[in-house]
Each structure stands twice: as C-alpha cells, then as structure tokens.
Homo-oligomer: A and B are copies of this chain.
Amino acid sequence: MTERIDHTLRNTWTPEGAKAAHLPPHALRWLRSRIGLAEVATPVGPASLHTVADSALPPAALAALVAVVGTAGVLTDRDARLGRSGGLSYVDLMRHRGGGEPAVPDAVVLPADPEQVQRVLEVCAEHGVAVVPFGGGTSVVGGVNPLRGDKASVIALDLLRLDKLVSVDPISHTAVFQAGVRAPDAERLLEAHGFTLGHFPQSFERATLGGFAATRSAGQASAGYGRFEDMVHALRLATPAGELRLGGSPASAAGPDLKQLVIGSEGAFGVITELTLRVREAPTFHHYEGLVLDGWERGALALRALAQQRVLADVTRLSDMDETEASLELAGGWKGKALRAYLRTRGVVAPCLLILGWETTSPRELATRRQAALRALREFSPVRLGRPLGEAWRKGRFGGPRQRDLLLDAGVCVETLETATDWAGLAALRTGVRGALTDSLSTAGSRPVVMCHVSHAYETGASLYFTVLSPRAEQAPLEQWQRAKIAACEAIVNHAGTITHHHAVGVDHAPWLAAEVGELGLDVLRAVKARLDPTGVLNPGKLVSPGERP
C-alpha cells in the first residue's frame, strides 16, 4: 500500500474523491412536507471557523515520540489535529456546521508498525499523555473523540501507516493484516488471492480492520459471513503493560476466550496492531432481489422463519413501512409511484421492503439456498419485485451515510441508532424506541420520521436499526438530538434491548453499560483495564468510564 499521510479535515460522510450522494428536488420537497421542514441551508463551515488551542503536548513527550516514529510521524499542525477531532456522529458533524467546538488532540502520531505502536504507548504512559487510537474515524458514538480524562494532553494515534497485508494462508483460509488497513484496501488485497473478508458495514469505505475488531462491528452480509468477531482467528494488542498475542487455533477450551475481551474493547485496553482473519473464497455469483411483505409483524415473522430454519440470505434486510416509504420517495419519482400502484393491485396495504442477497462460488449453491429461502417465505405471501430493486440496493449500499451530508445541508436533524433483542421482545422494543424518539422530537409544527429496519437476524433474535429525520431545532440543535438519544436509550434499556448491536459504546452509550453488564461487570472491565493500562492513558472517557445515566 502507498503511504498516505492524510491531513484532510474529516467532516462529512462522503470520502474525498468519492461521488456525492444525490438527493433529487422532489425528494427534498417530500421530506419538507412530511416532517414540516423550513427552507434553510446549513453547509459545512470553513476550518477557520474553529479556534484550535496550541498543542499542549509537553516538549519531553514530543521528543520521546519523535524518537520512536521520526519527525514526519508526529503532526502538530492545525489541520492534522482538527482532522482527528472526532468521528461522524450527528453531533460530531454538527460541530463543523457551527454547532460547537470539537475536542482537538494535541498531536497526531503515526507509528509505522506494531513495534512502534508498542513504544508509543510506553512513551505516553511514561509521560502521562492520553492516547486515542484512530483508524477510519467513523465512530458514531464518540469513540474517537480526543478526550483528555485526567491527563494534561492527548494524542491521536493514527494507524494509517499500518496498512499492510502481512501474509495469506491459502490452506487455512486466513490472512494476517496490520490493523490500519481500510476495508476496501483489504478487499482489493485479498482479491489478488481469490479471497474476500465479506465484511461490509455502512462505514466500509473508510473504516479499518482494527476499528472493526475494536468495536465488534457487524456488516450487511453478517448472516452469511458472520459478525467481525467471528472472523478473528488471532490478534496482537499493544498495551502499556506489554503485548498480548491471542488466538491462532480454530477453537479452544484453554480458558476464557481472551480474544473476545479484546474485541469490543474500543481502545480502552490497548491498541490492536495486527489481525489474523478468516477469509473465504471470493464469490463469483451474486443475486440480489427485492420483495415486499405486507406489514411489519408479518415481515418479522418471515425473518424469524428464515433465521430459525437457517436459510437466511447472506444479506437479509427488512425495512418497516416508514423506511420503505421514505426509500421510495427519496429514490425517485415515477418509479416509486408505479411500485406503490402495483402493490395496491396485489392487495398490499403496509409494504415492507425485504432485500435478499446471496453471494456464492457456484450457481448450484445460489439456486439451492435461494430456493430454500423462498420456500420458507411462501407462507408469508411475499410479493417478489425482482432483481433491479435488489441490485439498486446493492449499488447504493454505502450511499446512506453520504446522503446524510445532503440532509444536514438542508437543515435536517438526521441520525441513526440501533439495538437488538430476542424475537419475543422485538415488537415491544421497536414500539418503545419509536415512541420515545417521536415523542422527544415532535413539536407543534413538526413530527419526525422514525424509520426502522432489521439488518441482522439470528436464531434467537434480531437487531433493530433506526433512522431519524426531524427538522433541526434553531436553538440548541445538539441538545435537541441529545434529548432524543437519551429517551431512546432509556427505552432500549427498559425493553431489554442491548444498548448497541454494532455501533459500540464510546462516550454516548457508556452511561447505559451498567444496565447491561451490571456494576460488577463494569468492575471486571475496570480490573482488566487497570492491569493493561495502569496509568489510564488509553482512550479516556470511553467504555469503562461511564457517567451517571442522564
């Protein structure tokens, strides 16, 4: 891989050089009328908008860091620091639209290999400098916000130089990657060997493999390829107390699975530097198609049948009626109208779009698996809409976040959140979270759109992914969303949902972690952190330093 020293300010979901999303005028008109949105424009402000304090990194620490990574490996300029000033949550993005000042690290440090990461951590522990591991910077929960905790300074430890495919084992179907490799690069590197990871979350275009592991990521094809934690065969974790090397067997009963303690540790226990990942033969046959089920309840029953009969498509994704309506409206005019008319003739009153996608290495496997899925769906009377809708979804699969940039420009409060629970509790959880968001964001003149889909189904339950569109409050827009988020989190906890299915804990969910693992569970995490990071330099304020529930 080429070494790219990325100094650019990250303040939108659209990657540099990538095509911006398209939001047709009729779509915006529909949205304005639907949620009661005034004609406003709130573009991203210039970087000069922000006041950035001088770097507080002590000279001795700076010198020690330079001794490890070289002069070019420590950046203290304004742009580099602003570029690692947070992730891509609504709140993060709003800070670039005049919504407040982001926290900015005192330096960006760019180690070149796992050994340099290890030494950087030792330097930071010695000098009392906080360290925020930074990969793709796509956290939507404040996971990479450069908080100082009780330290006087903080660095962003950017892993972009750890961008190598170290080795591929075609016999064992594993590949060793450095942790800073971005997902698209990983796929390109593996393609040369005929393999794929099969991990395609919405953050795919920017996120790194280390980030996937640190946050327990789940991709859109998780039903076929598993969650990221299922792909990790072995890993290396640099910690202030030394290096952990874990895993390497396909399975083991040698005590608790410590890999699973590192996966999801969000930089609070150490920095993942290298990953041995299970890979699979790259698929040569793709088939994506769209179906419609009449009503959310029936749709959920259908998903449950697929999951419990173990015939899920690799991508299995069910939108509720609101999301289906919005997709059709935001996608295009006459097509959506024609489709709705067709569905009415088929007697569908509450259309819920189901996308099914298979990726296989043989047409036979594709046909067999597809037939099994369609057979399981039969009793739920799906209306099959064919491949174009499925292919359209596939082509636009990473477009959702980019579209958010345009919605932000147009004055929309747009954000997502997600949870999961067992099948028996899924309906109540959805109702509870929808209600909490709607209540919190409704005003005299406007009512939000709260859309929901299931993108990850399991034998015992499923995830729920919510997207919220609301007119942005003119006064205190961040607080508007934060109130809604708190209401949603309380609803999740009260309905026995997990506080996060794949976005991780970060800062935003930390106050609710105790509700999930108990105070004693938090204490266990703290005990592990105390052993690996005794001076507490690693990612302050994330995961194990939760405040009170608001």
The minimal Cβ–Cβ distance linking A116 to chain B, given in whole angstroms, is 19
Q: Which residues of the partner chain B approach A258 to less than 8 Å between Cβ atoms?
A: 261, 517, 521, 524-525
Q: Which residues of the partner chain B approach A217 to less than 8 Å between Cβ atoms?
A: 253
A189 vs B172: C-alpha distance when bound (angstroms): 40
> A254, B527: Cβ atoms under 8 Å?
no
A501 vs B252: C-alpha distance when bound (angstroms): 4
> B255, A517: Cβ atoms under 8 Å?
yes
A504 vs B254: C-alpha distance when bound (angstroms): 6
Q: Give A278's nearest chain B residue, CB to CB.
A: B460
Q: Which residues of the partner chain B approach A520 to less than 8 Å between Cβ atoms?
A: 239, 241-244, 532
The minimal Cβ–Cβ distance linking A464 to chain B, given in whole angstroms, is 11
Tell me if A312 is interfacial: C-beta within 8 Å of chain B: no
> A172, B424: Cβ atoms under 8 Å?
yes
Which of B241, B251, B460, B544 interacts with A227 by CB under 8 Å?
A: B251
A124 vs B163: C-alpha distance when bound (angstroms): 52
Tell me if A368 is interfacial: C-beta within 8 Å of chain B: yes
The minimal Cβ–Cβ distance linking A242 to chain B, given in whole angstroms, is 5
Tell me if A280 is interfacial: C-beta within 8 Å of chain B: yes
Q: Which residues of the partner chain B approach A256 to less than 8 Å between Cβ atoms?
A: 260-265, 525
Tell me if A478 is interfacial: C-beta within 8 Å of chain B: no
Tell me if A308 is interfacial: C-beta within 8 Å of chain B: yes
Which of B241, B425, B524 interacts with A531 by CB under 8 Å?
A: B524
Tell me if A503 is interfacial: C-beta within 8 Å of chain B: yes
Q: Which residues of the partner chain B approach A169 to less than 8 Å between Cβ atoms?
A: 422, 424
Tell me if A421 is interfacial: C-beta within 8 Å of chain B: yes
Q: Which residues of the partner chain B approach A266 to less than 8 Å between Cβ atoms?
A: 255
Tell me if A497 is interfacial: C-beta within 8 Å of chain B: yes
Tell me if A173 is interfacial: C-beta within 8 Å of chain B: yes
> A253, B504: Cβ atoms under 8 Å?
yes
A453-486 residues with Cβ-Cβ distance < 8 A to B are 456, 458-463
A33-79 residues with Cβ-Cβ distance < 8 A to B are none
Q: Give A527's nearest chain B residue, CB to CB.
A: B531
Tell me if A97 is interfacial: C-beta within 8 Å of chain B: no
> A253, B174: Cβ atoms under 8 Å?
no
Query: With A281-B308, A524-B528 as given contacts, are A505 and B255 in contact (CB-CB < 8 Å)?
Result: yes
Tell me if A530 is interfacial: C-beta within 8 Å of chain B: yes
Tell me if A15 is interfacial: C-beta within 8 Å of chain B: no
A337-381 residues with Cβ-Cβ distance < 8 A to B are 365, 368, 372
A82 vs B506: C-alpha distance when bound (angstroms): 52
Q: Give A308's nearest chain B residue, CB to CB.
A: B173
Query: With A172-B461, A265-B256 as given contacts, are A456 and B527 in contact (CB-CB < 8 Å)?
Result: no
Tell me if A190 is interfacial: C-beta within 8 Å of chain B: no
Tell me if A229 is interfacial: C-beta within 8 Å of chain B: yes
The minimal Cβ–Cβ distance linking A255 to chain B, given in whole angstroms, is 5
A210-269 residues with Cβ-Cβ distance < 8 A to B are 215-218, 227, 229, 233, 239, 241-246, 248-258, 260-266
A244 vs B527: C-alpha distance when bound (angstroms): 15
Q: Give A523's nearest chain B residue, CB to CB.
A: B531
Q: Give A229's nearest chain B residue, CB to CB.
A: B257
Q: Give A505's nearest chain B residue, CB to CB.
A: B255
Q: Which residues of the partner chain B approach A444 to less than 8 Å between Cβ atoms?
A: none
> B500, A254: Cβ atoms under 8 Å?
yes
Tell me if A171 is interfacial: C-beta within 8 Å of chain B: yes
A243 vs B462: C-alpha distance when bound (angstroms): 27
Q: Which residues of the partner chain B approach A498 to less than 8 Å between Cβ atoms?
A: 248-249, 251-254
Tell me if A121 is interfacial: C-beta within 8 Å of chain B: no
> B424, A502: Cβ atoms under 8 Å?
no
Q: Give A266's nearest chain B residue, CB to CB.
A: B255
Tell me if A164 is interfacial: C-beta within 8 Å of chain B: no
Q: Which residues of the partner chain B approach A420 to less than 8 Å between Cβ atoms?
A: 249-252
Tell me if A423 is interfacial: C-beta within 8 Å of chain B: yes
Residue of A280, A460, A499, A513 with highest tally of chain B CB at under 10 A: A460
A488-513 residues with Cβ-Cβ distance < 8 A to B are 496-505, 509, 513
Q: Which residues of the partner chain B approach A524 to less than 8 Å between Cβ atoms?
A: 244, 258, 261, 528, 531-532
Query: With A233-B460, A249-B498, A460-B172 as given contacts, are A255 and B422 in contact (CB-CB < 8 Å)?
Result: no
Name 17 A/B residue pairs within 8 A (Cβ), A-sorted: A171-B422, A173-B459, A173-B460, A227-B251, A241-B523, A244-B517, A249-B498, A250-B459, A251-B420, A253-B500, A254-B498, A258-B261, A261-B261, A261-B524, A368-B372, A527-B528, A527-B530
